[in-house]
Amino acid sequence: MRLYPSQTVVPSLADLTTLRVGGPAASYVEAVHEEDLVAAVQEADDEGVPLLVVGGGSNLLVADEGFDGVVVRDARSGIRVESADSCGGAVVSAPAGQSWDELAQRAVEEGWVGVESLSGIPGTVGAVPVQNVGAYGQEVAGVIAAVRTWDRAERRKRTFAVGELDFGYRTSLLKRSMHVSSRPVDPQAPWYPSPRYVVLEVQFQFRLGSMSAPVGYFELARRLGVEVGQKAPSSDVREAVLALRAGKGMLLDTPAPGGDPDHDRWNSGSFFTNPVVPVEHMDRLPADAPRYPVRNALPTTSTGPALGAVDSGVVKTSAAWLIEHAGFGKGFGLAGERSPARLSTKHTLAMTNRGGARADDVVALARAVRDGVRDRFGVTLVPETVLVGVTL
């Protein structure tokens, strides 16, 4: 464990996040062993110091003033295959600090089915169950077997089976523990900006095979030349997803030495979640607004999206569509092309740092977009990005 107390120079949060904004932390811990991670969390909680656990920093917007507490970065890695056979599939575990896309790539190479459509997502393994990460018709809930955590309230390690994690659209029991509105109610909430349950390790169970799960997203199916619901070689799905994400600026920026950065990739992923609205409200939106069914059951296997009954009372629509049709096109900035923070030139759902943005610039842009969509369509967009020290 490496501890940098407040009187020394600590990494800026701009150096630890993909948005590349945010000031310093009062102290910083880089944990390379599980015991170090738990000890740092315990110490912060014992002293009543705010705690921010960071993995890849791909879903964070931190204030320019920094974080007046302890930032703990999980620097652990390693993928452990516990078993792999035709009966039980592959049971695989990884520490929370493990790169998610490295695991997704390994899964495709090894024939572990169920995360090929989640390729290219920045961040670490520990973040995926918190958000119930999903993309292109797949959700990680479909392959999670268990999540081992440190329970900050009970001060003990605690393992949750998949059925206990209360997964939903971009949420989970873990995420809800950060907020007062957590379900079931946690009387000690909020634990913000880090959950009550700090993820230590995630166990996955995959079906074995060279063909993907049924493709659940039209754009991806069209690129693969298959129908929605059909399968394709997992390697082809991964390649197609990486190409789609690259076209939207939704990959990590890794320029060649001496090369120019791609500022469209200086973002925190999708800034807002796709809103789920009552059917009667959806009927008041333009007829061409995208409509997606909301299912009231979670994925029960690793073979694709949830197949439960459709909730007839609500509909999911596209935040990107609402943003663009509220007048905020690709590349929009509050001061035009001179804006240090602008919508991505490739995808309206990403707030980007054009090279000199501050957190306040990103907040002002996000606030303008949220308010514009609300005024135009009566839908209030909710941030998917975790806001630390700033509010919309």
Instruction: Show which residues are catalytic.
Output: 170, 270, 384
Task: Note whether 347 and 249 are within 8 A (CB).
Answer: yes
Phi, psi of 79 (to 5 degrees): -115, 120
Q: Is 106 exposed, middle or buried (0-12, 13-18, 19+ CB in 10 A)?
A: middle
Element (H, E) at 316: strand 310-316
Q: What is the maximal distance between C-alpha atoms in the chain? A: 59
How far apart (Å, rounded) are the C-alpha atoms in residues 376 and 392? 18
CA atoms within 13 Å, Cβ hemisphere of 296 = 6
Element (H, E) at 205: strand 197-208
Helices 234-247 and 100-110 pack at an angle, to 10 degrees, of 150
